[in-house]
Amino acid sequence: MRRKRLGTTTLPAHPTTEERFWAKVDKQGPIPAHRPELGPCWPWTGAVPKRSGYGRFNTGVKRAGHWVVVNAHRYSWKLHNGPVPDGLCVLHRCDNKPCVRPDHLFVGTKGDNNRDMVAKGRHWRQAGRQGSVGADGQSPVRPMATPADGRR
């Protein structure tokens, strides 16, 4: 509390972690062209590293002297469904990595994730097919160089 010369005033309450999370969500996002029945995505407007394309959220908690930062779509799942079961991933029906809309998310194994990726033409060996784009959502995925290629 701050004290003024005559009386006291209270500081505005700090937003809750959940309020901070939703403040970084755009609920008027794009509708996925391949699944328009899903409705608009809710893209994360906070930090989105180019390398992964997934939103990152600082939970405001420190552990061992470091801030706990999590993937935004996993945090959205946790808010609506509870913790992600051990060994499972949070997958996107919409294939939009920054999307945190709860009904666009589902859990599955890494195998489920890989099968979903191949079924939707997003595997790197399927470069050139529809849906095969990089983390930026625009550039095509290029196959990785292998030692047999002589490139590194």
Q: Which of 84, 95, 102 is nearest to 21 (CA)?
A: 102
Neighbours of 41 (CB within 10 A): 25
Task: Fold for 16-132, please state it.
Answer: Homing Intron 3 (I-Ppo) Encoded Endonuclease; Chain A (3.90.75)
Distance of alpha carbon 16 from alpha carbon 142, whole angstroms? 42
What confidence category does residue 152 fall into, taking pLDDT thresholds of 50, 70 and 90? Answer: very low
The tens digit of pLDDT for each residue in 87-123 reads 999 999 999 999 999 999 999 999 999 998 888 887 7
Confidence category of residue 124, pLDDT binned at 50, 70, 90: confident
Tokens, residue 81: 């469904």
All structural domains of the chain with their residue ranges: 16-132
* Rounded Cα–Cα distance for residues 43 and 92 (Å): 12
Whether residue 147 has pLDDT greater than 70: no
Summarised one tens digit per residue, pLDDT across range 48-96 is 999 999 999 999 899 999 999 999 999 999 999 999 999 999 999 999 9
Entry pTM: 0.72
Residues 127, 142 contacting (CB under 8 angstroms): yes
